[in-house]
């Protein structure tokens, strides 16, 4: 589960970055991949537990990216 949470978070953040860069087709693909992983845990009835890990990875990665932006 942890590996999937990390991957979904990375894809979500990648999608956001791609949207900012106006790479909309790529952003949509990344978003759909992330949603597919999330849906798998929803169908298993494990969504709440999955989302706790997912949010940690998503927010951790988001802070790394915004920290890089501030340095430039």
Q: Provide the number of structural domains found in the chain.
A: 1
Average pLDDT, the chain: 90
- Residue 61 pLDDT: 74
Report pTM: 0.83
Task: Classify residue 69: in a domain, yes or no.
Answer: no
Q: pLDDT class for 4, splitting at 50, 70, 90?
A: very high
CA distance 38 to 46: 10
The predicted-structure confidence for 44-72, as pLDDT tens digits, reads as follows: 999 999 999 999 999 987 766 555 554 44
* Burial zone of 67 (CB within 10 Å; 0-12 exposed, 13-18 middle, 19+ buried): exposed
Q: pLDDT class for 17, splitting at 50, 70, 90?
A: very high
Task: Classify residue 71: in a domain, yes or no.
Answer: no
Task: Classify residue 11: in a domain, yes or no.
Answer: yes
Task: Classify residue 22: in a domain, yes or no.
Answer: yes
Q: Domain of 7? A: 2-63
């Amino acid at each position: 589960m942890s590996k999937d949470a990390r991957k979904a978070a990375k894809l979500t953040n990648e999608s956001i970055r791609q949207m900012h860069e106006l790479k909309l087709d790529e952003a949509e693909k990344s978003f759909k991949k992330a949603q597919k992983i999330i849906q798998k845990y929803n169908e298993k009835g494990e969504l709440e537990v999955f989302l706790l890990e997912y949010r940690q990875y998503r927010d951790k990665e988001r802070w790394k990216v915004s920290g890089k932006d501030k340095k430039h």
